[in-house]
């Protein structure tokens, strides 16, 4: 809210776009950085930030630093990456499809990614392509496949994408994929099934840096794609024909947007399972604060998405400590009501 106040200069006339982007990135960046630094301090053992970063104590003797960097930071960084990837994917889907209810969950993209990742895990697929291992690849393939089905359905009729077809298609694809997921689980052995169920709830059980690094490759590609999009998303969200008449290359923009969002969602799901509702809550909260301009909404959602999921994970870790809840339960309990509110506000 402080950001919004700053963007309104005296006399009601707004500051320039450049200034508003700077303020937005600075404000939400501070929030995300604070979340990354302070979230690891909370847990069964209390540690001090000052001690953890104290260079005068040798690392081998610095218990606080070991807990900070080895036990807790990977989980927090994973939350940051997953949160921002899902939030930005949500923003992109909503703008592209001109539908505030679109998100990786409602379009079935998360379910597709889950199925891909689960197949790779259950059947122990072990291959890699360009340094990316089987699980992220399978989950990217799954997300792209699900998106192709839903998007194909909703654009099949010439009259543009229909909101109804889109959401019903998403729900249907999700139900279908859930059945396939259940089937795969049925084939898996008992301990495997238990792990899968936990994973499907969306959990940030990341205890080392290697899965983060693995997810970073597809995410970097997705970020590069997202970076080209903001202004085109503004124009497309008004109408794709008016955007085309203003010089936007619609087909190319759609392709970049859909592939980037599938990559980001796939990478997020391969890291943490299908964490629901982040892609819908974060973009709408951000729009309430910074307005509709995607040059503000996109970076703000990335940063706020990171802080948001770190916060949810903090709740998941502390609410019934020493037990750790899957973070997906927390986001779903927070997100369900927000989704309903949006639905009623729109219809």
Partner 1 sequence: MLEVTDISFAYPSRRAVAPRVLEGVSLQVHRGSVVGLLGPNGSGKTTLLKVVAGVLKPQSGRVLIEGQAIEQLTRRDLARRLAVVAQETQTTFDFTVIDMVLMGRYPHLGAFQLEGASDQAIARDALAATGTAALEARPFATLSGGEKQRVVIASALAQASDMLLLDEPTAALDLGYQFEITALLRRLNLERRTTMIVSTHDLNLAAALCERVVLLKHGRVIAHGATEETLTAANVRLLYDIDADVQYHPRAGHLTVVPIGRSR
Residue 129 forms beta bridges with which residues? 132
161 or 203: CB nearest partner 1: 161
Q: CA 225, CA 223: separation in Å to the nearest integer?
A: 5
142 or 279: CB nearest partner 1: 279
Q: Which residue shows structure tokens 């990456």?
A: 81
Name the minimum Å distance from CB 92 to partner 1.
13
Q: CA 323, CA 320: separation in Å to the nearest integer?
A: 6
6 or 234: CB nearest partner 1: 234
Name the minimum Å distance from CB 272 to partner 1.
28
Residue 92 tokens, joined:
């992109």
48 or 242: CB nearest partner 1: 242
Report how far apart the first and last C-alpha atoms of the chain are (Å, whole number).
27
Name the minimum Å distance from CB 66 to partner 1.
42
Name the minimum Å distance from CB 236 to partner 1.
10
Reported as half-sphere exposure (CB side, CA atoms, 13 A), residue 313 has a value of 33
Which residues of this protein are in contact with partner 1, per CB under 8 A?
Answer: 12, 14, 16-18, 21, 94-95, 98-100, 158, 228, 231, 234-235, 237-239, 241-242, 244-249, 287, 291-293, 295
Name the minimum Å distance from CB 255 to partner 1.
16
Name the minimum Å distance from CB 37 to partner 1.
30
Name the minimum Å distance from CB 247 to partner 1.
4
117: Cβ–Cβ under 8 A, 6 or more apart, which residues? 135, 136, 138, 139, 142, 269, 270, 273
Residue 100 tokens, joined:
């505030």
Reported as half-sphere exposure (CB side, CA atoms, 13 A), residue 208 has a value of 3
99 or 122: CB nearest partner 1: 99
39 or 87: CB nearest partner 1: 87
62: Cβ–Cβ under 8 A, 6 or more apart, which residues? 51, 52, 54
132: Cβ–Cβ under 8 A, 6 or more apart, which residues? 214, 217, 218
Segment holding 107, helix H or strand E: none
**322: cis peptide before it, omega within 30°?**
yes
Name the minimum Å distance from CB 242 to partner 1.
6
The dihedrals phi and psi of 14, each to the nearest 5 degrees, come to -80, 155
175 or 245: CB nearest partner 1: 245
140 or 151: CB nearest partner 1: 151
The dihedrals phi and psi of 128, each to the nearest 5 degrees, come to -150, 155
């Amino acid at each position: 809210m402080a950001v919004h106040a700053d963007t309104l200069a005296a006399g009601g006339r707004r500051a320039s776009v450049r200034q508003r982007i700077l303020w937005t990135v600075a404000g939400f960046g501070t929030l995300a950085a604070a979340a990354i630094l302070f979230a690891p301090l909370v847990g069964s053992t209390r540690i001090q930030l000052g001690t953890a970063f104290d260079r005068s104590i040798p690392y081998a003797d610095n218990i606080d630093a070991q807990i900070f960097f080895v036990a807790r930071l990977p989980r927090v960084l994973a939350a940051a990456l997953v949160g921002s990837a899902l939030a930005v994917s949500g923003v992109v889907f909503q703008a592209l499809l001109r539908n505030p209810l679109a998100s990786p969950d409602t379009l079935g993209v998360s379910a597709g990614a889950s199925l891909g990742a689960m197949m790779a895990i259950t059947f122990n697929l072990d291959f890699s392509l360009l340094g990316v291992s089987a699980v992220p690849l399978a989950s990217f393939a799954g997300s792209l496949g699900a998106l192709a089905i839903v998007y194909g359905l909703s654009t099949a009729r010439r009259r543009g994408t229909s909101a109804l077809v889109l959401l019903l298609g998403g729900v249907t694809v999700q139900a279908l994929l859930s059945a396939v997921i259940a089937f795969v689980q049925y084939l898996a052995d008992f301990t495997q099934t238990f792990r899968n169920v936990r994973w499907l709830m969306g959990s940030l059980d990341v205890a080392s840096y290697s899965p983060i690094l693995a997810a970073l490759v597809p995410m970097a590609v997705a970020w590069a794609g997202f970076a080209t999009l903001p202004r085109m998303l503004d124009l497309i969200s008004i109408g794709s024909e008016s955007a085309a008449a203003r010089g936007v290359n619609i087909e190319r923009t759609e392709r970049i947007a859909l592939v980037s969002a599938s990559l980001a969602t796939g990478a997020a799901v391969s890291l943490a399972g299908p964490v629901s509702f982040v892609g819908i809550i974060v973009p709408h909260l951000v729009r309430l604060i910074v307005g509709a301009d995607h040059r503000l909404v996109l970076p703000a959602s990335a940063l706020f998405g990171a802080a948001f999921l770190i916060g949810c994970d903090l709740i998941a870790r502390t609410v019934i400590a020493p037990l750790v809840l899957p973070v997906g339960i927390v986001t779903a309990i927070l997100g369900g009501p927000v989704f309903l509110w949006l639905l009623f506000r729109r219809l």
